[in-house]
A and B are shown apart, each in its own frame.
Chain A
């Protein structure tokens, strides 16, 4: 068990910057999720922690050891790969036992430890099978079992659920959450799926183009996105973003006028609000009035979208609400639920309290 510190870690290939100045303290027993679109450097960051990729600049500390120059095997980590990385010639039992064997753990402990790990990932019935005879979910559980059979300082998980089907993903996700809670091991988890990030993480690190965009608890990130990238990446649907002007506390753009905002700024800004924070307005009223662009039934709600310039704005309406495409309906946007972002940099214009 240990805390970690990534000090200004960078990765470059020639002129290409994979990870730029990544700086993060990770507390003991914390569940950190690195979240971002593909190619944002999240996997590279994890591979640098694992020692599978060299660090160009900066230092990685696990506990009180600087591990930059250590081989993967000497870093005391366990990793779960997206494509499982199981040994096809070995049975499930031998796969889980493999780390104990190569690390020369005392032989008499092997059986007990393998069985305990197998029990935690519910594989006790399948120990004699080869990986080829397992389903995707079972294979991923073998990979998990192999990771927990030792007591590593850090768990690394590289998109462990993305090869599973949707239903299995939900149950395996819960299993991972439960395992981490039981084992209390510092965990770093890489994903591009914001729902996984929200459900699993103690803290989420949102990355884009090699840079950290925001670090915070899932609630923080959802409620106070630091910039338009985070706002448009988190939540489903993502936050609506509308470009316009603010003058005397009134935001205005085509078909939309929101009064009651802060009065200390003026000029071009981006207005952000979430689909579930707004409501339909009675006839002829509403801060936003425009013809409906499309209407989707989600089951628990109806989703109405407007086209405002280039932006597509989604609104959640009650589930029995119906309207024809092209008809006009107003939406009430409470000023308190709005976020303002700088029109050029995309940074949040939230008043610092």
Chain B
């Protein structure tokens, strides 16, 4: 009996491994294709003669003398000022995450610990606002923003993004706080803490996975948002996503579309890094409360 009892039959192992590999390939293909192609010229990446040109790059070699070129990146970042969009994105994302986490933890904690019935209705109201399409909110905001002369600035966009994001953060953190036993803050208060100290010293340290997970979702919302940023920001204040879109809008000019490809790859890279760094917290955050009673 050398074989362990847990050993699965070989065909099953082969099938499931094959399936996972296939899925992985399908999921990763667009990203890899784009990342590889971003170092080619337009004639290769969008070649009409042979799709293999995007991989081998004969036109790239003919035009630049090398099989890979950074022209797309140079054009996007320097010529077209994509770096400014990166700075803007950073500001917007940082502010949105910080503000919504601050309100979210405080509000979620208060709602989780309050014994009153209105908490339920507050959360339901939050859910309804969250369920609305973003664009309906934006169209309502547009006119007042023009009239108040605050259209096109980053702070305006940050406020709108926080408003859209807040219900979700509140929900998510609220349910995290519910999984933390009340005894914890109560014993902290008896031990000599004020309500706020109990929150800061006893509850928040236990909450990190929840805060990180919620923070990541807020980050993704602000980072990937197109509806709000494209309508509320002026040309010079654009964040990355509307900027990439504006590159795509100018495909008539030779090479411009490669700027979009390069910029898209640039926008993707930080997301990979982020998920890698926080993967442990994210996993424990996503599953928290699922197993422990």
| Interface, chain A (partner B; CB < 8 A) | 50-52, 71-73, 77-79, 81-89, 98-99, 102-103, 143, 146, 156
Contacts and interface: CB of A to CB of B under 8 A. Distances in A.
Contacts of B188: 85, 87, 98, 102
B181 A102 contact: no
Listed residue (B192, B197, B206) with the most chain A CB atoms within 10 angstroms of its CB? B192
B234 to A, nearest CB: 46
A151 to B, nearest CB: 13
B186 A73 contact: no
Given A52-B186, A81-B186, A98 B205 contact: no
B223 to A, nearest CB: 30
A102 B190 contact: no
Interface string B29-60: 00000000000000000000000000000000
Interface string B170-201: 00000000000101101111111110010001
B202 interface: yes
Contact of B192 (A82, A99, A156): A99
Interface residues of B, number: 17
Contacts of A87: 184, 188, 201-202, 205-206
Given A71-B189, A73-B189, A88 B206 contact: yes
A73 B206 contact: no
Contacts of A51: 189-190
Given A50-B190, A84-B183, A103-B192, 20 more contacts: A51-B189, A52-B186, A52-B189, A52-B190, A72-B186, A72-B189, A72-B190, A73-B189, A73-B190, A73-B191, A79-B187, A81-B183, A81-B187, A82-B183, A83-B183, A85-B183, A85-B184, A89-B205, A102-B193, A156-B190
Contacts of A143: 187
A85 B194 CA distance: 16
Nearest to B208: A89
A133 to B, nearest CB: 16
Contacts of B206: 87-89
Contacts of A73: 189-194
Interface in B142-193: 181, 183-184, 186-193
Nearest to B189: A72
A258 B143 CA distance: 93
A50 B189 CA distance: 10
Contacts of B190: 50-52, 72-73, 77-79, 156
A102 B192 CA distance: 6
A81 B185 CA distance: 11
B194 A99 contact: no
A50 B185 CA distance: 13
A102 B201 contact: yes
Contacts of B201: 87, 102
A73 B186 CA distance: 10
Contacts of B187: 79, 81, 85-86, 143, 146
Across chains A and B, which 3 residue pairs bring their CB atoms closest together, nearest first? A85-B187, A85-B183, A103-B192
20 contacts: A50-B186, A50-B190, A52-B186, A52-B189, A72-B186, A72-B190, A73-B191, A73-B194, A81-B183, A85-B183, A85-B184, A85-B186, A87-B206, A98-B191, A102-B188, A102-B191, A102-B192, A103-B191, A146-B191, A156-B190
Contacts of B192: 73, 99, 102-103
A103 B197 CA distance: 11
Contacts of A103: 191-192
A102 B184 contact: no
A117 B60 CA distance: 76
A99 to B, nearest CB: 4
Contacts of A79: 186-187, 190
Contacts of A81: 183, 186-187
Contacts of A146: 187, 191
Contacts of B181: 83, 85
A82 B192 CA distance: 19
B265 to A, nearest CB: 39
Given A87-B205, A89-B205, A102-B201, A71 B186 contact: no
Contacts of B193: 73, 102
Contacts of B202: 87
Nearest to B184: A85
A339 B242 CA distance: 87
Contacts of B186: 50, 52, 72, 79, 81, 85
A194 B247 CA distance: 78
Contacts of A156: 190
B216 to A, nearest CB: 21
Contacts of A72: 186, 189-190
